[in-house]
Chain A
Amino acid sequence: MLNGDGNMSSKVTERALNLIKSMPRVALNNIKPLPHTAFKKKTDRRGDRKKKGRGDKGQGARGTWDPLGYEGRQNPLIDTSPRERYYAQYAVRRQYPPVSLLDLQRLIDLNRVNTSRPVDITSICNTGLFKFDISKNHFGVNLTDEGCDQFAAKINAEVQWTSELVIAAIEKNGGTITTRYYDPQSLAALYDPLAFFKKGHPIPKCKLPPQDALLYYSDPNNRGYLADPEKVLEAREKLAQKYGYKLPDLEGDPFKEMLLMRKDPLQIFFGLEPGWIVNLRDKSVLKPKDDDYLRYYHSAQ
């Protein structure tokens, strides 16, 4: 609109701006903060007297109290029952911060995530709405089942941890899901690819899962990336029967190629091999040809 007719709602801003038009110039000498923004803390001076609020003599004045929980020589309450090690090895255990199906559907609705390409941890991090931290042992994303009834997108999802209900929700809509392990070095590249490429390091090869995770990622019921693809197809059919939906046929799907895109176990980015170096300034990719180098980056050891 060229004319000055805004909505009723923009009139207050316009009126304020029109008002300052007729007032002295906004300058360094007529600027003030809002009242009560900066105030001095009133220190409590009640204890600043001779006895500092501690009274006369005794343990109170002299600070020689018994330790908290001490019951004379009786066995204290805290020692009557054994310890429950709730947080044992918390610093060592892997964590998978949750992203719900509802969050994912909202990202898709608001065009933050491109469903015409596989949706993996990098797509989720690139929205800027979810942050993962390697120093806090975040080993990837856990796709949770909140919003499984509302989920209506056909995607090729790649996550690090999920549940049966989530797999059913995604496959019901004609999509595919894979659980995939990344080691911390690969995750550093995946969580922030731009910062990684700026460093100029070769793309790392992804290590295989540790012993306690190998079972999970080899299980076709979890759609693990190390599982047998034939068994995965069987598991899809079984799950459809369990939850009572008709499994959509991938053969006749126009997005079949995208839905069946999978990364190699050593690969972390689609289309880019481990060992390559990305040159952002010249917009090129450097591919070394040394035999030893290639043997290292193409082997699982």
Chain B
Amino acid sequence: MAALSGTTFLRIYHRVLPVFINATRSKPVIATSKYKKCILHHKLANDKVSVCGLLSVRQHSTSFSASQDELDQNDLIKDFEVSHEEFKYVEQILPSPTVPELEEQTQYPTPSGWFPPDEATQAQQKYLIRRTKNHMLPVYSHTQNTWFGTSHFVSIKKIEGDIWALEADLREHVLKTTGQKSVNTHVHEVGRFIRVRGQHRDLIAKFLLEKGM
């Protein structure tokens, strides 16, 4: 494409501009070369006046910067429509402050591989691992660069119940699966978490899912 100057750019844009289904926008109009400073002055319901929109459009005259801060009464836009119907579009965009509730699905795992906790299997265990607020397992892998090398460990948080029984089960599972001779663990009884040395995150997550957590 050739170098686009100001006017040719617009023309090309219009050629490619297709017709869209959303018909709320009016037809494109080539703007005039002179613009006015447009300021919207809106009075809120409780009579507190605030400037809601200072619209300083590009002004080709010289006195642009000097007059930018002055609010001339002549330039204020007092003609505007207040609509409550379009607010529903605003509500669709706003975020929800808390994590939304899960919907029950027919088939598990879900396409992304997510399993919900299985209460029947959970009830048979001596311990419980609660899900995070995002409904995920609280199993995290960590890597630390220390002066004596790189250390990898997995932390399992939000443990309720017999934490030592969980530690014994984890140890047995890791030794059986990996075939290593020993595994170092750190049990924090007050903080209710366990750290297992090694890169065993997926292993441990799978083990916990089998236990219904």
Contacts and interface: CB of A to CB of B under 8 A. Distances in A.
Interface of A: 7-13, 34, 102, 105-106, 108-112, 117, 122, 125-129, 147, 150-153, 193-194, 197, 200-202, 208, 211, 214-215, 218, 226-229, 260-267, 269-273, 276-290, 292-296, 298-301
Which label, helix, strand, loop or mixed, suits the secondary structure of the B interface?
loop
Given A200-B51, A282-B82, A298-B28, 12 more contacts: A9-B125, A12-B160, A109-B114, A112-B99, A126-B93, A227-B16, A228-B16, A267-B25, A277-B42, A285-B86, A286-B52, A296-B38
B interface bracket (residues with beta carbon within 8 Å of A): 35 or more
Contacts of A105: 110-112
Given A110-B135, A201-B53, A285 B87 contact: yes
Nearest to A153: B111
A8 B125 CA distance: 8
27 contacts: A8-B126, A8-B162, A9-B128, A9-B161, A9-B162, A106-B110, A111-B100, A112-B100, A150-B113, A193-B93, A194-B94, A197-B94, A202-B52, A260-B21, A262-B20, A271-B89, A277-B53, A279-B44, A280-B90, A281-B44, A284-B84, A285-B82, A285-B87, A285-B90, A289-B80, A293-B55, A298-B26
A111 B82 contact: no
A7 B213 CA distance: 13
B93 A122 contact: yes
B67 interface: no
A283 B84 contact: yes
A102 B83 contact: no
Interface in B119-151: 122-123, 125-128, 134-135
A186 to B, nearest CB: 13
B179 interface: no
B177 interface: no
A284 B110 contact: no
B125 A266 contact: no
Nearest to A107: B112
B123 A7 contact: yes
Contacts, number: 213
A108 to B, nearest CB: 8
A200 B53 contact: yes
Contacts of B83: 284-287
Contact of B22 (A108, A151, A263): A263
B35 to A, nearest CB: 7
Contacts of A193: 93-95
A113 B155 CA distance: 29
Contact of A277 (B45, B52, B84, B110): B52
Given A112-B100, A277-B52, A202 B95 contact: no
Nearest to A271: B89
A229 B99 CA distance: 37
B175 interface: no
B161 A10 contact: yes
Contact of A261 (B13, B21, B40, B82): B21
Contact of A228 (B18, B81, B112): B18
A296 B55 contact: yes
Contact of B38 (A106, A265, A271, A293): A293
